[in-house]
Structure 1
Amino acid sequence: MPTMSDTPSIFTKTSAFSLGGVLALGTVAYVSSRVFLPKNAKWQDRFTFIWLAFDALIHFIFEGSFLWSSTFGRQVNTETHMFGAMWREYAAADFRWGVSDPTIVSLEILTVFGAGFLCCYILNQLANNDPARHYWLIVLSTAEIYGGWMTFCPEWLTGSPNLNTSNFLYLWVYLFLMNVIWVVIPLWLMYDSYTHISGALRSTAPKVKAA
């Protein structure tokens, strides 16, 4: 009969490193909002700035390292550097990330080089209080939600053969929490930007008199 010492550990040093890295990027994003936004900025603008800064850092550092390890004949499962270990940890929950799945890699190319730089562009608009940011926020949010859909919908349609939901960490932290925030927050951003755009357009639209 196996003993407690024979049971493989789920939460490992790599797990702690990965989650600690996410927390560190969130801290950097928060500090940057204190630096680049005025103290009296609306909470919506501060939250948006923190999210976009965090989003950009995740795309460039974490997902950028995935692209580096998943192109030109390489894959995460063969890498030995610290980011390779981090992505192997995530690949234990979603096997596709370890073997350079072409759909995942294609989405990540757009995410890193498209969404990442767009985040930076909107951050600059936000720091300068440019209302044009609301259009680009809707574009970015739509892309983020579509990326999440195309990541998981093929799995759901085929019975999720590559997803490991056998424990709390893999199911609720890696697969659920680490992905659902890229759905919930973009949806809120789309709604917030819609209210700004529609309000501005309605305020300048000519009044139509009833017949």
Structure 2
Amino acid sequence: MADTLVQAANVAGNVTKIAAAQAIAHPYYPLNAEIPSYAANEWSVPALLSVFFGACTLLFTSTYFLAKRTNPHLKTGELLTIMWFVLSGAIHILFEGYYASNYATLGAKQTLIGQMWKEYAFSDSRYLTKNSFVLCMETVTAVCWGPGCLIVAWMVVKRSEYRFPVQMVVSMGQFYGDALYYATSIFDHAVMGVSYSRPEAYYYFVYFVLMNAFWILIPGFLMYQSTVEAAKAIAVVQHIEGSKKAS
């Protein structure tokens, strides 16, 4: 009986060691994070970046010419705004939508977008660990702000009177989501002592800080622009109403 118990204990210990080894058999931080069925990327980083930036260039170019063809009178600022919202909409729907649909098995994916996510996850491993905040935030972004971006882009092309109110809502949603994304990661690192980024500065400052900063700075400017335009419109209405009362 004693021998049986010892053997059972040894087996249990071996199983625990194997499970622990499997749990840390990946290059992401923290090293003890559980990433089910993790598989290293098959594509190189230069190949993934080439495809991504090539697709962005193609999208920018086609958006520019299509917008100019639809409305030849668009100004440079309007064209840049259209290109921004089309790019944002595409990223929200395709990339973040893909994550929301495949979050549970993303670590094993060898699709193009799956490998891009695994490369980005070197700066934030929460994308591979079924993190509840990231999942909810990215799902809302894909479902709400993705289509919203495309709607705003079309409104800019058509110079719709609803452009600035809708632009304000979508930009605020992007800004708020990104601010929380930064804040939760920084809080966990500063207060809980948990870092989701690898120690190499490149991953943190280029992938995490720089790439996400666009969704702070540009939506911030667009919210300011929307506020200014709304204030101008209200001032005009108030002036007209004041003139009517005076007469």
Query: TM-score category by the smaller chain?
Result: 0.7 to 0.9
Letter in 1 for 2:62: V
Q: Which of 194, 204, 208 is the equivalent residue of 2:227? A: 194
Per the alignment, residue 79 of structure 1 pairs with: 109
Normalising by structure 2, we get a TM-score of: 0.72
1:65 to 85, 98, 113: 98
Deviation readout 1:18-66 (Å, 9 max, x if unpaired): 4334423432134212212334312221111010000011112221221
TM-fit CA distance, 1:13 = 4.9
Gaps of 5+ in 1: 1-7
Q: Could you say which residue in structure 1 is the equivalent of 2:8?
A: none
Measured after TM superposition, the shift of residue 175 of structure 1 is: 0.5
The equivalent residue for 2:188 is 158
**Distance in 1, Cα, partners of 2:72 & 2:226:** 22
Aligned partner letter, 1:205:
Q
Aligned twin of 1:34 = 65
Contact 2:43 2:115 survives alignment (8 Å): no
Query: Which of the numbers 121, 127, 145 marks the counterpart of 2:175?
Result: 145
Root mean square deviation of aligned Cα:
2.3
Instruction: Mark the CA change 1:30 to 1:137 in structure 2 (over 3 Å): closer, same or farther.
Output: farther
The answer to whether the aligner puts 1:121 opposite 2:154 as a matched pair is no
Aligned counterparts of 2:110 and 2:198: Cα–Cα separation in 1: 25
| Selected match of 2:134 from 104, 122, 130 | 104
- Greater Cα shift, 171-180 or 78-87: 78-87
Distance (Å, rounded) in 1 between the aligned partners of 2:50 and 2:87: 14
Q: Verify: 1:93 aligned to 2:126, yes or no.
A: no
Q: Which deviates further from its counterpart, 152-161 or 46-55?
A: 152-161
Out of 208, 231, 238, the position equivalent to 1:175 is 208
Return the alpha-carbon distance in structure 2 between the equivalents of residues 56 and 21 of structure 1.
Answer: 18
Query: Does the Cα contact within 8 Å between 1:14 and 1:86 map onto a contact in 2?
Result: no
The count of aligned residue pairs is 196
SS in 2 for 1:166: coil
CA contact (8 A) 2:175 2:215 kept: yes
CA distance, structure 2, for counterparts of residue 203 and residue 189 of structure 1: 21
Instruction: Give the structure 2 partner of residue 4 of structure 1.
Output: none
Q: Match of 1:158, SS?
A: helix
List alignment gaps of at least 5 residues for structure 2: 1-26, 28-41
Percent of residue pairs bearing the same amino acid type = 22
- Cα offsets for 1:175-194 (capped at 9, x unmatched): 01110000000011111111
**Distance of 1:131 and 1:63 partners within structure 2:** 30
Q: In terms of mean alpha carbon deviation, does 180-189 or 127-136 score higher?
A: 127-136
Which piece of structure 1 moves more, 101-110 or 154-163?
154-163
